[in-house]
Each structure stands twice: as C-alpha cells, then as structure tokens.
Amino acid sequence: MPESEFSFLSPNSEAYPKSTTAFVVAPAETGPDTGLIHFAHGWGGNRFQYREMMHDFAARYDLVCVGTEYRQSGYDFDAERGLGAYRPYDASHYQVVDCLLAVREALDRFPVNPTRLFAFGGSQGGHIALLMAALSPRTFGVAIAGSALTYIDPDRMAWTGRIMSPDELAIRDAVRMAPRIDCPVVLMHGTADRTVPDRHTRVMEAALRRAGQDVVCRYIQGGGHGLEPVTNRHALTRELADPYLRSIRTAGDTVFSRRERVEIPCVSRTCVIDWSREGRDPDLLSWE
C-alpha cells in the first residue's frame, strides 16, 4: 500500500510553531467508495504506532488511513526515538483539534467518499477518537476506542504535570459528552489493564447506553493495556467493528463541509471550534 505524509499548522501556532505531521497509508487503487479512517496514537506515541493495522485496513476496507502525530508527542518530543510525553502536557484538547484538522486536510488531499469517515484510537488515542466524534457532529460513521482514557482522573492529571480547571476537565470528559456522540461506538478494554483501569470504559459504556447510543463493548478477561496476551486491538477491532467499516454510510455532510461553528458548554465557559476558519487561525479554537 502506498505511504505518504503531509504537514499542517494548528491553532496557537504562534505559541507552538511546529507543524503537525500525519502519516498516510492509502489503498493501491482508490474508487468512488474509498473512505477514510483516522488512527490516534497513545500518550507519547507517534504516527507510526498503527502502521501494520493501517496497511491491513487500507486493503481490507478500502480506506485511506491517516495517523496524526499530534503535538507534544512522538518525534516532536524526541526526534531520535519518537517516544515521550511533554510536561506540562495538554492531554487531549489541542490534540483532538490536531486530529480533526488532519481529517479535514486529508479530505482535501485525497479522493475520499465523505460518507465513509471513521475514527479509531487506543489509550489516549481512544480518548481522542471519542472526543473527535463528540466535537464533530454528523461526521463519523463509527468511533472505535480501545483501552481508552475517557476522562481526566486524579492519576491522569498527575501525569500531565499541571492542575486543570473545571472547564479544562469538562472539555476532556468524553463521559460527560456521551450524548453529543451521534454515531455508533465500539469499545474494548482489558480487565487487567494497569495503565488505564477498565472503569474508564465501563462508565463510558454506561453513559452511551443511557443516551440511547448504539454501542458494542467487549471486556477481555485478563487482558492488559494492549489486550495482550489474550488478543490485541487490531484483531478485536476487526472482529467488533467489521460490520460498521464495511457497510455503514453517513449523509456525507461533514462538520468541515458545513463550515460549522461548534459550541460545547462546559462549566463557566463555552469552548468554540469554528470550522469556517483555517487551521492556523488562532480563532479556530476559542473560549467564550
């Protein structure tokens, strides 16, 4: 499968002048039904984390596969190893917008059918996939989250090296925003996960079911953070998400094509993402 990369600037580029880079694996041949799936890597990971899975999904499901290396992670943090987590760390706010911008950029660069857009991620990437769906209404056909962080608990806040305000916690709380997710959701988690406890997925599943959402969920008894040694995220995603990736279609009228101004009320303020603006525009993402 052909591989390529592209880079772009995100909001607050004056304070954070580095470009965001996305790794792409495309089908050998594209057609009118070729879709797109975004892969969000884990905390401190890099854009190549799901390379093997991206090659498989490009061929198996006729998808352009985009893996964004969001800010403060991967080769941005450590140019030699592609590992590490920057502190203080933003922890799934600017990174979510980086990933959504990568999807918008890819839609402009590749011949993609906008009725077949999907979001996948594991660990922090699962957190990001869920928040991508919550912050971009009527855009994704399915959101897939493996071993996902779903809110910032005290232990995860300690990882960031910073204290977050109630508004900052609210915009990162996928459980609170479960009613905003308007696509099916596939969840998976190992019961022996020592990195992100499975309670994160259990409360997310419960919130989605209370909201009447379409949810498929599997808990892997004895599975660790990557679901090993029982299985892995790649294999279980193929099992659980296969019907959605093969057959689901949306209206194709995305938050990007609508140039929508998305408003997310939090505690004392409202977060605004204005998709009528360019990616480098500092007003694309703001608080009111």
The answer to whether residue 262 scores a pLDDT higher than 70 is yes
For position 10, what pLDDT does the model report? 87
Per DSSP, helices labelled H in 180-282 are 199-210, 233-247
Query: Which fold does the domain 3-258 belong to in CATH?
Result: Rossmann fold (3.40.50)
Tell me if 245 sits within 8 A of 57, measured CB to CB. yes
Strands across the sheet containing 285-287:
261-265, 270-274, 285-287
What is the C-alpha separation between 114 and 252, in angstroms, rounded?
5
> Rounded mean pLDDT of the chain?
95
Tens of pLDDT, residues 270-288:
999 999 999 889 899 999 9
Q: Residues 217, 221, 227, CA angle at the centre, nearest 5°?
A: 75
pLDDT score of 188 more than 70: yes
Dihedral sign, CA of 211, 212, 215, 220? positive
Q: At what angle do helices 94-109 and 124-135 cross, to 10 degrees?
A: 70
Order of strands across the sheet with 20-25? 3-8, 20-25, 63-69, 35-40, 117-122, 142-146, 185-190, 215-220
Domain range annotation of the chain: 3-258
Nearest to 41 by CA among 116, 92, 113: 92
pLDDT above 90 covers what percent of the chain?
87
- Name the residue with higher pLDDT: 19 or 232: 232
Q: Are 129 and 119 in contact (CB under 8 A)?
A: yes
Nearest-angstrom CA–CA distance, 66 and 79? 20
* Spatial distance between the Cα atoms of 155 and 200, rounded to a whole number of angstroms: 12
pLDDT band, residue 14 (cuts 50/70/90): low
